[in-house]
Amino acid sequence: MFNYYLLEQSYQLIGIEALQGNLIRLNSILVLNDERDLFYRSETLWNVMIDNKLDFSTCVFSALSNKQFMRNVLPKMFMQQIKQCEPIADKGDFDKEFPNDLNAFWGEVFQPKEIFCLSTIEDYETFRHKSVLENITYQNFWQWKDCLFEKIRFCDGVKGQIEKMGSSRFFQQMVNRLIDLDNYNRNWTQGVCTPNQINETTSLRVTNESDTIRNDKTLKSYRMFQLPNGKTEYFEMHIKAGELRIHFFPLEAEHTIYIGYIGSHLPLKK
| H-assigned helices in 91-234 | 91-97, 121-135, 141-148, 158-165, 169-187, 195-201, 211-214, 217-221
Tell me the per-residue pLDDT of 143-186, one tens digit each, with 9 for 90 and over.
Answer: 899 989 989 999 999 999 999 999 888 899 999 999 999 999 99
pLDDT of 270 higher than 70: no
Quick check: is 99 in a domain? yes
φ/ψ region of 15 (left if φ > 0, alpha if ψ in -120 to 50, else beta) reads left
pLDDT > 70 in the chain, percent = 100
3-class secondary structure, 34:
coil
The answer on 124 and 196 residing in a single domain is: no
What's this model's pTM, rounded to 2 decimal places? Answer: 0.83
The answer on 36 and 123 residing in a single domain is: yes
Say if residues 259 and 178 touch (Cβ distance below 8 Å): yes
Q: State the DSSP string of 69-101.
A: HHHHTHHHIIIIIEEE-----SHHHHHHHSTTS
Q: How many domains does the chain have?
A: 2
Say if residues 47 and 55 touch (Cβ distance below 8 Å): yes
pLDDT of 69 higher than 90: yes
Quick check: is 143 in a domain? no
The answer on 113 and 180 residing in a single domain is: no
The answer on 115 and 54 residing in a single domain is: yes
Say if residues 129 and 147 touch (Cβ distance below 8 Å): yes
**Which residues make Cβ contacts (< 8 Å) with residue 247, sequence separation at least 6?**
223, 225, 235, 236, 237, 238, 259, 260, 261, 262, 266
Residue 80 belongs to domain spanning? 2-134
Quick check: is 237 in a domain? yes
The answer on 70 and 18 residing in a single domain is: yes
Tell me the per-residue pLDDT of 89-141, one tens digit each, with 9 for 90 and over.
Answer: 999 999 999 998 999 999 999 999 999 999 999 999 999 999 999 999 999 99
The answer on 236 and 184 residing in a single domain is: yes
Q: How confident is the model at residue 253 (pLDDT cuts 50, 70, 90)?
A: confident
Quick check: is 268 in a domain? no
The answer on 71 and 16 residing in a single domain is: yes
**Which residues make Cβ contacts (< 8 Å) with residue 269, sequence separation at least 6?**
219
What end-to-end distance do the CA atoms of the chain give, in Å? Answer: 45
The answer on 92 and 33 residing in a single domain is: yes
Write phi, then psi, for 142 (nearest 5 degrees): -65, -30
Write phi, then psi, for 138 (nearest 5 degrees): -65, -25
The amino acid that residue 189 corresponds to is T
The answer on 129 and 166 residing in a single domain is: no
- Check residue 64 and give its pLDDT: 96
| DSSP-assigned beta bridge partners for residue 263 | 245
pLDDT > 90 in the chain, percent = 89
The answer on 82 and 56 residing in a single domain is: yes
The answer on 194 and 116 residing in a single domain is: no
φ/ψ region of 169 (left if φ > 0, alpha if ψ in -120 to 50, else beta) reads alpha
Tally of residues, the chain: 270
